[in-house]
Structure 1
Amino acid sequence: MKRRFWAGPVVLLLGAALTVAPDARAEVEPMAAEPHTLWYDEPAPDTDEGWEARSLPIGNGAMGATVFGGVRAERLQFNDKTLWTGGPGVADYNFGNWDAPRPGALAAIRQRIWTEGGISPNDVLAALGHQSDTPRQRRFGAYQSFGDLRLDFPGLPEEAGDYRRQLDIARGVAGVSFTAGGARHTREYFASAPAGVVAARIAADRPRGVTFTARVAVPADRSVTARAKGGRLTVKGALSSNGMAYEAQLQVLNQGGTRTDNPDGTITVTGADSVVLILGTGTDYAPDYPTYKGEDPHAKLTARVDAAAAKGYARLSAAHRADHAALFDRVKLDLGGSLPATPTDELLSGYGTTPAADRALEQLFYQYGRYLLIASSRPGTLPANLQGLWNVHEAPPWQADYHLNINVQMNYWPAEMTNLAELAEPLHTYVDGLREPGRVTARQMYGADGWVAHHASNIFGHTGAWDHPAYFFPESGAWLALQLYDHYRYTLDKRYLKRTAYPIMKETAEFWLDFLQRDPRDGKLVAIPSRSPEIGPATAGASMSQQILWQLFTDLREAAQAVGDGRQAATAADVLAKLDPGLRVGRWGQLQEWKEDIDDPAETHRHVSHLFSVHPGRQISPRTTPELAEAAKVSLNARTDAGTGWSKAWKINFWARLLDGDRAHKLLSDQLKTSTLANLWDTHPPFQIDGNFGATSGMTELLLQSHLGTIDLLPALPGAWADGRVAGLRARGAHTLDLAWALGRLSEARLTSDKGGSVTLRNDAFRAGARITTDHGRPVASRADGDTVTFTTRPGGNYRIVPS
């Protein structure tokens, strides 16, 4: 059924103009098309720095590319998420576990902590048999650049007139256009999820105006052969580190002119009217523990490229655009922005000077986060990593791996709330795949049942501890389990809960039932050793550890009740009664980071992990625990608004949950000014994609929250967003909402309920009452209570809510 806004009375935002509609059941005019294009008036420099700051990304979840846009020499750097060094193909790979058993090591660490109160994290890892060394890091491996597609145009100049390079995130299409030699040249690129390839079309408006040579270059540290036959360029070989087989195929389809397969494995097109390029990649990776080895990629890759070539460019493009729009178009956001006719890098550098342009950039940045998730995470692929799926390096920062102590979770914060729930499937499958190796780690390192994962992992089931004292974090598996349960809270998909989330949650809890120890000082259950990530000593009952575990057993109790497992629900309730919740107000009014009151008010570390209970947890809220919420604010203020890109993004979410929209918007402004590159990628520095995803999540939290069971409409609306509309946001309980507001006040809401049932909405405007009708205009009975209104929905029902 079509979902619509209804007017009355409502203020409609069209650009910067406001129009008041009459109090009648007239439909609001459709939201105007949003400006969704990043564009630039020059190519990206053909350097690693140019790749990071200025190239434009496209992706289909499994493979992606970045467009540089050179005139005479074009470069598409491309990736396949399965191309990794390390893993079982490397001698002595042990999934991060001990090289030899260390009986009594954990007990000795715990005794030291009970005696000394806190010990060096270096001592913890040394006792557990870990130390930083090159062989271990070599075994772990790193995500790789697959290679570069190079197009050399000998008849074109280095620079050209009327140049434009762009990325239309609403269509998922990048493009380059310019004038040279009396002709208009156009190049279009997209990564098709339906076809599983990257496609391009090179054209000129002058007959026989396209001449170039195509080649594929791969990094030097691997074997390689290149062959051109029948317009198909095939590059294949194996990585030197682990023997992983890889293959890329490029099909060149020319319209007019001639095509020559060269002996050196390149292809030359001469005098064509247009040329279509189809690029596919594959490896012999398979997500199967313990070998992670599949079949040679050649046969399946050949069939995939053949099928794409047979469809032709028009059909490939139409299928891609329909597929992309089906996801992207679910959410629309209008903050009253108006894009000036300036390149995106200039728009970014001028941010903070023109309100209309600022709002337009914020809208673009919000949707760019959704675009990047669509491009880097599709069902059946690996999850988005630290750089999504784009990486130019053989030795990327932090291995471009899966950091499990916030970063991969952060990548998926916007998935549910911005109506992209199915894009979280790769994360769910990945977590499920960690259980088998994680059971070995739990038994070997801790003598525990269940499964465990630590701070970082790869695509080869690495669940053991990482070789750095800052990163001892066995709570990673628990945090991941919580994220899976939140998918159920958004969808109420009981089958998913029973088959996926609940088994993982139960097995996660089994580990912690063994790991938790009774604190002799107060009898509470605590994690020992535990640590606040990247800061402070190894101790007993660090606040973040306890907050994660409180959430785990709270969610497990809820999930057990939902699936009818009374015994497990009782066990979870018993643990919660004994568990230290990790919530204390310290001597200077702060939310304590450790069980002991040792927080330093001068500490400004980028991690504020002890505020997990504010976000993504739900222990602390101004609505339910105002004293603790104030303590959280004290901690946040002490840490300051400074930080890396991902840190600023998390702080946007913190302040949104603390209902301070203006402070959250200030953090968003800081992120755009100081932690965003010219191509709008987030920078740590260097480039790290979680900041993009975290910012989109935080902006959504300003407009809609549902973590406490009630759906808060505009809970932390910034003053800068006084007028606007949003359509298609998701709330827990399986609801979709549209909102319109003017002068900072809710004008109208629209709710579609997937499953039906009782729903409670909150907004200050409801204190004067609300009128609720169905999509056919029939009144719906409701109950008002302060700033909330409650009514019953039917499955698939559409409802309009207008404050009185």
Structure 2
Amino acid sequence: MCPADASDTPDDLTLWYDEPATDWETQALPIGNGPLGAMVFGGVDRERIQFNEKTLWTGGPGSPGYDSGNWRSPRPGAIAEVRRRIDRDGRMPPDAVAAELGQARSGYGAYQTFGDLFLDFPGAPAAPEGYRRELSLREAVARVGYRAGGVRHSREYFAGNPGGVIAGRLTADRPGQVSFTLSHTSPRDDKTVTAAGGRLTVRGRLRDNGLVFEAQVQVVARGGTRTDAGDRIIVTGADSAVLVLSAGTDYADTYPAYRGEDPHARVTAAVDAAAATPYDELRRAHVADHRELFDRVALDLGGVVPPVPTDRLRGSYTGGPSAADRALEALFFAYGRYLLIASSRENDLLPANLQGVWNASTAPPWSADYHVNINLQMNYWLAERTNLHESAKPYVRYVAALAEPGRRTARDMYGARGWVVNNETTPFGFTGVHDWPTAFWFPEAAAWITQHLYDTYRFTGDEAYLRETAYPVIKGAAEFWLDFLHTDPRDGTLVVSPSYSPEHGDFSAGAAMSQQIVGEVLANALAAARTLGVDAGFQAEAGAVLARLDPGLRVGSWGQLQEWKSDWDARDDTHRHVSHLYALHPGDRIRPGTPEAEAAEVSLAARGDGGTGWSKAWKINFWARLLDGDHAHRMLAEQLRGSTLDNLWDTHPPFQIDGNFGATSGIAEMLVQSRDGVVHVLPALPRAWRDGSVRGLRAHGDVTVDATWRDGVPGTVTVRTGRTGPVRVRSSFVAGGCRVHDEQGREAGARRDGDTLTWTARAGAAYTIRNEPAASPA
């Protein structure tokens, strides 16, 4: 059906608009298959399709002066001198530390746009009828439709992971009405564009680093004529036309050269195969592949989508009791999962960056790089929780690939074993430093980025993965800290020094976040070694260090959790980073009901509900972990009202995709949490979500959870267990009595302890807990 004639019944998981997009950041709609991404504008006289390939980066090997961020000449005693001054004075300004330990970037580079495809339509109407532009999250298909001169025109586009192409089809409901000129532009002057056999080929080499790139677009027209015209292709009077695009570079994720094969052969093969396949077959394969991932989870918050465009739906959102507000919240959750599927797939060389896979610039904000003082990590908070395990594989691959360049940095700069990476990095193993005072030094990053690897094991229970993939990387990150911790002369504990709470305050020794992250990586490495029964010497060393480590969990003078080891926190500080609450989230050492949790709540309340988009997203997760669903929902409302663009992208500002991903994680945390072997269902349900259901969320222990609730009270909870063994489920309705049955209706023999049920589950079985009194004992 043409979008212009779509049903009057709105699709609750479709973004739609009644005008073409004119702005890339706020209006265009994203499609992607992991390695490839594109933004669809939906113009009537001129269609713009801006596209990306994830490995097209400047910088790195081949770029003049590239040094991986390692010091260009030795600095013996530099770190020791900074430590000495911190021990003497207690603190040190960021610019003074940067002068001692930083250096200007050289050859850092940036993510690049591949350019734009333009489709120019002759004789297009100035005012078409029934215009509609949309993005179906269920199908991962973008569409444009309108009427002009009695003819219905339709276009649709998708980025298919099967086959590795972006495809589009242009149709009309009368024969001979499809005419356009296809061309390509790029902001860089480093390419050639040629047309032959209905195929546009874009090929070049980045001037900065010599990276070879190529894109091909094949036009397959039905009826009419197709003409190659130098650097463009002209279609005239066709009944329909199909476009298939693929692109690549000679990047490889192997240190130190980061170069592989010329992309020509694989791009040609992808386009040849897609062009020889009927369009409907390509589309079916794409939709089936997407839905296998997307349909694993469904969220119903009792919303009803009004028949208004998505920009108006967002603009009228208040966070109040309306059914339209609930519909937007559920749509925003689904959009986060859609964006992760679109920008991170199992066959990717690289994870999602600051802009996912989408970037329209040669000089994007923050280089569209990998900031590892929270942003890259936040991109993947939702992966395991929302049943997208495969989407995290590029992240795991990337983290593992950083270990080799990180070992050189650890040895040459820090004199330590193991591996390290600092505040931000690139596809080219940039593991050293630069000289921006408030964002150059963060050796804790390597430990933090390994957290996801251990958490994946906790979700899956896969010991082969733990042994072969996760443990070696986690152990290396822990070994760095066995060598680099410093004895604090104030109390004899082991601390990180120099230590910096990201982008905030002075350098000191033992900032809370530093201590919490280091404690976590040591504990994870130790637990993994014990599980695998390996490395007895390492276990002894890590255990001894953990026993002396300052935990970074001090309660300060006004009841707050201290950000620094000294009580420097100000009550009126509303900085967007709330780094000292790391142990609350994404860590889990701070537990609700403890003095540390109460102090964390005091700190969080003092920081306020403001901040940038990603900061608000983090606060959703914080409040969910504190089991305060109403405040978590308030933060979600703040993000939707003030930090979300009309195309529902998160804005820092400018656009950063981590806020989308962090918010989706936060919504999942409101519905299901898991720690210490307990699956907590509906732990932070806000009053605004009066009735609803969720299906398919994941918990530690290889457990999948469905739940329904009515009037704010759980009705049924179903858990599907991937492994045989004890299962513990906690929920508010358990204390009032309930029954647990397997799929055959047999009682599971659950034992109740307050609000927690425990029973022995079978692998592959499903168990349903109903909100009804258990049978009376005989």
Q: Contact (CA 8 Å) 2:482, 2:542: kept in 1 or not?
A: no
Distance in 1, Cα, partners of 2:206 & 2:381 = 34
Whether 1:800 and 2:760 are equivalent positions in the alignment is: no
Q: Partner of 2:562 in structure 1?
A: 592
1:569 CA drift (Å): 3.3
Q: Contact (CA 8 Å) 2:99, 2:435: kept in 1 or not?
A: no
| Percent identity (aligned) | 58
Distance in 2, Cα, partners of 1:771 & 1:507 = 46
Whether 1:43 and 2:20 are equivalent positions in the alignment is: yes
Query: AA paired with 1:74?
Result: E
Q: Contact (CA 8 Å) 1:721, 1:744: kept in 2 or not?
A: yes
1:566 CA drift (Å): 6.0
Q: Partner of 2:335 in structure 1?
A: 368
Q: Partner of 1:562 in structure 2?
A: 531
Local SS of the residue matching 1:538: coil
1:574 CA drift (Å): 1.9
Q: Normalized against structure 1, the TM-score is what?
A: 0.93
* Aligned mate of 2:47, from 74, 83, 87: 74
Greater CA drift, 146-155 or 794-803:
794-803
1:443-458 alignment to 2 at 5 Å?
A: 443-458=411-426
Q: Partner of 1:577 in structure 2?
A: 547
Q: Partner of 1:464 in structure 2?
A: 432
1:782 CA drift (Å): 1.3
Q: Partner of 2:776 in structure 1?
A: none
Q: What's the CA shift string for 1:440-474, capped at 9, x where partnerless?
A: 10011111110000110011010001321112111
User: Which 5+ residue runs of structure 1 have no aligned equivalent?
Assistant: 1-31
Query: AA paired with 1:510?
Result: E
1:89 CA drift (Å): 1.2
Q: Normalized against structure 2, the TM-score is what?
A: 0.96
Query: AA paired with 1:572?
Result: A
Local SS of the residue matching 2:55: coil
* Aligned mate of 1:294, from 246, 250, 260: 260
Q: Partner of 2:228 in structure 1?
A: 261
* Aligned mate of 2:323, from 356, 362, 374: 356
Q: Partner of 1:338 in structure 2?
A: 304
Q: Contact (CA 8 Å) 2:49, 2:117: kept in 1 or not?
A: yes
Q: Partner of 1:318 in structure 2?
A: 284
Distance in 2, Cα, partners of 1:791 & 1:257 = 68
Greater CA drift, 422-431 or 564-573:
564-573
Task: State how many pairs are aligned.
Answer: 760
* Aligned mate of 1:111, from 84, 91, 114: 84
Distance in 1, Cα, partners of 2:738 & 2:535 = 40
Q: Calculate the aligned-residue CA RMSD, in Å.
A: 1.2
1:630 CA drift (Å): 1.0
Runs of 4+ in 1 over 6 A off after TM superposition: none
Distance in 2, Cα, partners of 1:769 & 1:759 = 18
1:34 CA drift (Å): 6.7
Whether 1:101 and 2:74 are equivalent positions in the alignment is: yes
Q: Partner of 1:85 in structure 2?
A: 58
Distance 1:758 1:354, change over 3 A: closer
Distance in 2, Cα, partners of 1:736 & 1:184 = 45
Whether 1:495 and 2:488 are equivalent positions in the alignment is: no
1:35-434 alignment to 2 at 5 Å?
A: 35-45=12-22, 50-128=23-101, 130-131=102-103, 133=104, 136=105, 139-220=107-188, 222-263=189-230, 265-352=231-318, 355-381=322-348, 382-434=350-402
Query: AA paired with 1:551?
Result: E
1:764 CA drift (Å): 1.9
Distance in 1, Cα, partners of 2:738 & 2:484 = 50
Distance in 2, Cα, partners of 1:797 & 1:224 = 57
1:78 CA drift (Å): 0.2
* Aligned mate of 1:442, from 400, 410, 418: 410
Q: Contact (CA 8 Å) 2:321, 2:688: kept in 1 or not?
A: no
Distance in 2, Cα, partners of 1:521 & 1:456 = 31
1:570 CA drift (Å): 3.3
Q: Partner of 2:750 in structure 1?
A: 782
Q: Contact (CA 8 Å) 1:156, 1:181: kept in 2 or not?
A: no
Q: Partner of 1:629 in structure 2?
A: 597
1:181 CA drift (Å): 2.2
Q: What's the CA shift string for 1:120-156, capped at 9, x where partnerless?
A: 122222212x24x4xx25x100001101010000121
Q: Contact (CA 8 Å) 1:770, 1:789: kept in 2 or not?
A: no
Local SS of the residue matching 1:187: strand
1:354 CA drift (Å): 6.1
Q: Contact (CA 8 Å) 2:10, 2:306: kept in 1 or not?
A: no
Q: What's the CA shift string for 1:502-541, capped at 9, x where partnerless?
A: 0011111110001101112211110000011001111100
Distance 1:33 1:713, change over 3 A: farther
1:572 CA drift (Å): 2.6
Query: AA paired with 1:94?
Result: D
Query: AA paired with 1:233?
Result: L
Distance in 2, Cα, partners of 1:79 & 1:234 = 15
Q: Partner of 1:26 in structure 2?
A: none
1:670-685 alignment to 2 at 5 Å?
A: 670-685=638-653
* Aligned mate of 1:514, from 454, 459, 483: 483
Q: Contact (CA 8 Å) 1:456, 1:466: kept in 2 or not?
A: no
Distance in 2, Cα, partners of 1:367 & 1:198 = 22
Q: What's the CA shift string for 1:358-412, capped at 9, x where partnerless?
A: 0000000000000000000001211000000100111100000000110000000
Greater CA drift, 754-763 or 336-345:
754-763
Q: Contact (CA 8 Å) 1:723, 1:742: kept in 2 or not?
A: yes
Local SS of the residue matching 2:592: coil
User: Which 5+ residue runs of structure 2 have no aligned equivalent?
Assistant: 1-8, 774-778
